[in-house]
Amino acid sequence: MTIEITKADVLTAGGQRAIYQHPHDASKLIKVLHPDVVVKGRSRFASLTETWFPGLRNRAISKEYQEYLRIMLANPEPDFAPPFSHFYGFVTTNLGLGCLTEKICAADGGLGSTLRDLNKISALTQTHIDLLNKTISRIFQLNIRASDLNAGNLVFGHRDAGGTLAPLDCIVVDGLGDVHAIPVRSMARWSNKIALQRSFARLARKNAPLVWDNDQCKISIDP
């Protein structure tokens, strides 16, 4: 069955995928690859590389799903709640193949707020920072491999808990998987820890006044 969505119904869009509300399920989103790489927001080198080697985009999606499966299979407990959004496979849409994912929503049912957006309007509270650090701690604990831990991929919102909203949380919604040509993150736990530390240090550096403590592996707001 083909799911009908319209370009006018797009909720948000990144460099590679547009995100739509599932027309029949308020708790799910559909991510559809852009027909061509969108240059805005991406480095010229990345855009040119993906234009020359379009298979790289499919590889990134494959790595994302592989990492999701690796973590979920290693944690089969029914009450396991990962610090990232759930993946539900692929669906056919009139705009192309779509990735079906969990929606992390605001209290009003809209999309949750990203770390980047909240920081831009100086709306980050200590509650947000505590939730962010809880997620960071779990990422290290679970040894999650992620290649794009930017502030736009960390969302504060609620999961759908059987028709009711779960408590506010900080969830990684994109960027999972070791997509690099030399898979350093996949070689050992210690090498992934170093890569994660560098990723969070870069995230804080690009989103002042956030500050990264490499020894404690925590983020704070510089007073």
Domains of the chain: residue spans and CATH: 7-221 (1.10.510)
99, 100, 125 from 88: Cα distances, Å: 7, 5, 32
Provide the residue-wise pLDDT of the chain in tens; the chain has 223 residues: 899 998 888 998 877 789 999 999 999 999 998 775 444 444 444 444 455 455 556 778 899 999 999 999 999 999 999 999 999 999 999 999 999 999 999 999 999 999 999 999 999 999 999 999 999 999 999 999 999 999 999 999 999 977 889 999 999 999 999 987 788 899 999 999 999 999 999 999 999 999 999 999 999 999 7
